[in-house]
Amino acid sequence: MHIAGATVLLTGATGGIGRALAHRLARASATLVVTGRQPGPLETLAAEVGARAVVADLSDPDDITRLADRCPDIDVLVANAALPASGDLLDYTPDQIERALTVNLTAPVLLSRLLAPGMVARRRGHLAFVGSMSGKAATPYSSLYTASKFGLRGFAHSLRIDLHDTGVGVSLVQPGFVRDAGMFAATGAEVPSGVRTVSPDDVAEGVLRAVEDNRAELNVAPLELRLRCALAVQFPDVAARSHRRGGDNPAVHQVIEAQRASR
């Protein structure tokens, strides 16, 4: 699927990865529609990249439907929006759990359901989901976030099978630890010592490559993290024991405390 000339809907556009994606898609000559929850930052970004802005709260299913109704001719969906949802599940209220799962999983599923029929009718389109390496391997204090990303990974791969031969591709892009964006950038916590990171621009390049090459899954992460996740898929008990031996990470707890205060 060629990005140049395609109409692209980007969710979560005002975050660190979202901004990098918006600028990269604009440079690739996409006709861009950006969406986010906060009108001010969204309009500023839209002016920067020459995009159309559509305000939507993806924790509200009615808003998701309205967003799709306002974007009927989308060629490419880049479902990037997500809530970090880290921490002990026991600290979350039922409403907070529902909101996290709606933004991280229900929204991309529902947008796919609403936008894919038009793509299939035109026999042209692509659905790209920005997941996480947490969609391959469990980590401490991330059960809710990990559940949403495991679900997104399964959804993307199954939908890709279902849409085979329709002219509509499906891709999943899974970043590792991202510097200058996401939970560590938002809270000021340091990335765990010895962990190599990727940049928002790396993730944006990965998304464009996945769409243009119709890649099923593209992992934007250092080799050692990709290997650890591959081993965790095959040997989850071994991975869990390794996390327990590693003990608690102060940076992770700093992130959790910041998120608890913001809820």
The pLDDT of residue 194 is: 66
The pLDDT of residue 166 is: 98
Residue of 92, 141, 145, 184 marked active site:
145
Ranking 23-27, 58-62, 169-173, 183-187 by mean pLDDT, the lowest is 183-187
Does position 260 have pLDDT exceeding 60, yes or no? no
Does position 35 have pLDDT exceeding 90, yes or no? yes
Q: Which residue has the higher pLDDT, 255 or 56?
A: 56
The pLDDT of residue 239 is: 63
Question: pLDDT-based confidence at 5, cuts 50/70/90?
Answer: very high
The pLDDT of residue 254 is: 46
Active site residue 145: yes
Check if the beta carbon of residue 144 is closer than 8 Å to that of residue 85.
yes
pLDDT digits (tens, 9 = 90+) for 201-250: 999 999 999 999 999 999 999 898 888 888 877 777 776 776 666 555 54
248 CB neighbour count, 10 Å cutoff? 11
Structure tokens at 252: 């992770």
Question: What integer best gives the mean pLDDT of the chain?
Answer: 89
Sign of the C-alpha dihedral computed for residues 183, 185, 186 and 187 taken in this order:
positive
Does position 184 have pLDDT exceeding 50, yes or no? yes
pLDDT digits (tens, 9 = 90+) for 126-158: 999 999 999 998 888 889 999 999 999 999 999
Residues with Cβ within 8 Å of 58's Cβ and at least 6 positions away in sequence, in order, are 11, 12, 35, 37, 64, 67, 81, 102, 103, 107
The pLDDT of residue 107 is: 98
Q: Which residue has the higher pLDDT, 65 or 244?
A: 65
d(CA 19, CA 180): 12
Does position 255 have pLDDT exceeding 50, yes or no? no
Question: pLDDT-based confidence at 17, cuts 50/70/90?
Answer: very high
Q: What is the largest CA-CA distance in the chain?
A: 53
Percent of the chain with pLDDT over 70: 86
The pLDDT of residue 183 is: 61
Does position 113 have pLDDT exceeding 50, yes or no? yes
Percent of the chain with pLDDT over 90: 72
